[in-house]
Amino acid sequence: MLRKQKEAVISELAGSLGRCLVAVATDYRGMSAKEMVQLRKQMHQQGVEYKVVKNTLMRFAAEKAGIKGFDQFLTGPVAIALGYDDAVKPAKILVDHIKSANSVLKVKGGLLGDKVLTPADVINLAATPSREVLISQLLGRLKSPIYALHFVLSSPLRGLAAVLQARVRQLEGA
């Protein structure tokens, strides 16, 4: 690869690292080409990039993007999953693929913003509900105190209405 091509690849990787919410490094040794194509297709459908990168180029790109701590994952063959819109998607896709396909793919670690993630952290991230589920849970919890207040405030009125209804029935029966 020519120097200009390498510089272009480094600039592209640095831009990708700067824009992404999460980057997950994996060791793909032992995966068949068919399995790799299937995983890339699945990731592409979910809006996640999955790139096989040269370690030295990735090191320079991380340095150019101002990212520290990513060097520790750049040993041996490395493929990087980059998530731009949802921090959970790349981890979830990778962990689900490893479990469902009994894949030899290994998670080396990752970055979530400025935080370095261990393989265990990436697995825990994959267990996190999606953004939409978290938002609906938050809205449900915000709505709960309002319903409780409504119930408490309307309870005396319901009691009064029940007493008046009972009195009406009593007078109609008499």
Q: Give the gyration radius of the chain's Cα atoms.
A: 27
pLDDT tens sequence across 22-76: 999 999 888 888 888 988 999 999 889 998 989 889 989 888 888 888 888 888 8
**Mean pLDDT throughout 139-149?**
86
φ and ψ of 67, to 5 deg? -100, 125
Q: How confident is the model at residue 174 (pLDDT cuts 50, 70, 90)?
A: low
